[in-house]
């Protein structure tokens, strides 16, 4: 059995985000670094795999583009993560950069929730239509 | 008795077994799936799994899987074209 607590502590010491279950499609990758993208005032970050640096995601806080976004956490997920209050959580949505800015989408169906204290994370599922998985970033919700 | 049937679409063997409400099945030695309630064609299941195992509805898992794969492929190139909403277009670190 994998000692998830030990790995998580090692990751947290190194400032890395630990996904015990990986992410759908990347179940084998558990440790990620959050790196700034572009200039210091850029809202976007890169979530880069420590095991395979060729795997990286552009991520952004959902509230950057959807101030009315509401995070709903399933009780089982919040207890797994130890996130009681939204203030305990760093919420990141995966962005799919398009060929042009207008094609860029944001995944509001499956925001990544990180426990700010332990740096343990999971990709969660939000209620609502499945189309939220590819919402135009610039467009109105 | 469990029955093994071939799933034609997947080309794999599927274990078929019958359970009543409040009965469970074990998957490996850590995952327990319990039938909680049956209401017409709705079945409520309780799933106990270790933290290292992600549990999703299949269609949702497929959505997230495809979206993540696409997002990683799109971020693997050069500069992503993200609308410059206040913050400017980001560049990817090398």
Cα separation, B77 vs B79, in Å, equals: 7
Question: In this predicted model, what pLDDT tens digit does every residue of B6-56 receive, in sequence order?
Answer: 666 667 788 899 999 999 999 999 999 999 999 999 999 999 999 999 999
Q: Which residue has the higher pLDDT, A124 or A137?
A: A124
Which of A4, A38, A48 has the CB atom closest to B90's CB atom? Answer: A38
CB B72 within 8 A of CB B80: no
Question: Does residue A66 carry a pLDDT above 70?
Answer: yes
DSSP one-letter code for B41:
T
Cβ count within 10 A of residue B48: 14
Q: What is the pTM of this model?
A: 0.84
Which of B59, B71, B87 has the CB atom closest to A57's CB atom? Answer: B71
Q: Which residues of A touch B48 (CB under 8 A)?
A: none
Helix (H) or strand (E) holding B46: strand B42-48
User: What pLDDT does residue A125 have?
Assistant: 95
User: What pLDDT does residue A24 have?
Assistant: 97
Which of B63, B72, B83 has the CB atom closest to A138's CB atom? Answer: B83
Rounded mean pLDDT, A122-140: 86
Rounded mean pLDDT, A31-55: 89
Q: How far is residue B11 from each of residues B7, B8, B15, B25, B52, measured CA to CA in Å? A: 5, 5, 13, 23, 27
Contact (CB<8Å) A100/B81: yes
Question: Which residues of B sit within 8 Å Cβ distance of A?
Answer: 30, 50-54, 56-57, 59-61, 63-72, 74-77, 80-93
Contact (CB<8Å) A97/B74: yes
Contact (CB<8Å) A98/B50: no
Contact (CB<8Å) B80/A42: no
Say yes or no: ipTM exceeds 0.95.
no
> What's the number of CA atoms in the CB half-sphere (13 Å) around residue A88?
14
Rounded mean pLDDT, B65-81: 80
Q: What percent of chain A has pLDDT over 90?
A: 63
> What's the number of CA atoms in the CB half-sphere (13 Å) around residue A98?
15
DSSP bridge pairs for A95: A58, A106
**Max alpha carbon distance in chain B (Å)?**
63
Rounded mean pLDDT, A52-67: 93
Question: Does residue B89 carry a pLDDT above 90?
Answer: no
User: What pLDDT does residue B91 have?
Assistant: 43
Question: In this predicted model, what pLDDT tens digit does every residue of A77-128 receive, in sequence order?
Answer: 899 999 988 888 999 999 998 887 778 999 999 999 999 999 999 999 998 8
Q: Which residue has the higher pLDDT, B10 or A41?
A: A41
Question: Does residue B81 carry a pLDDT above 50?
Answer: no
């Amino acid at each position: 059995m994998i000692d998830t607590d030990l790995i998580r502590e090692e990751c947290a010491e190194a400032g890395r985000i630990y996904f015990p279950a990986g992410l759908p499609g990347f179940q084998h990758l558990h440790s990620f670094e959050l790196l700034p993208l572009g200039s210091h005032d850029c809202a976007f970050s890169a979530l880069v795999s420590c095991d395979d640096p060729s795997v990286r995601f552009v991520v952004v806080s959902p509230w950057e583009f959807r101030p009315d976004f509401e995070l709903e956490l399933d009780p089982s997920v919040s207890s797994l993560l130890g996130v009681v209050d939204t203030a305990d959580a760093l919420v990141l949505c995966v962005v799919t950069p398009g060929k042009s800015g207008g094609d860029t989408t944001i995944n509001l169906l499956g925001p990544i929730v990180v426990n700010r204290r332990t740096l343990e994370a999971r990709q969660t599922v939000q209620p609502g239509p499945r189309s939220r998985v590819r919402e135009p970033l610039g467009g109105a919700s | 008795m469990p029955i093994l049937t071939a799933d034609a679409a997947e080309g794999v063997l599927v274990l078929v077994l019958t359970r009543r409400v409040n009965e469970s099945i074990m998957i490996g030695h850590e995952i327990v799936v319990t039938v909680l309630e049956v209401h017409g064609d709705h079945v409520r299941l309780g799933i106990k799994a270790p933290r290292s195992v992600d549990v999703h509805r299949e269609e949702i898992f497929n959505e997230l899987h495809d979206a993540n794969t696409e997002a990683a492929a799109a971020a693997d190139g050069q500069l992503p074209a993200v609308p410059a909403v206040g913050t400017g277009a980001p560049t990817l670190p090398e």
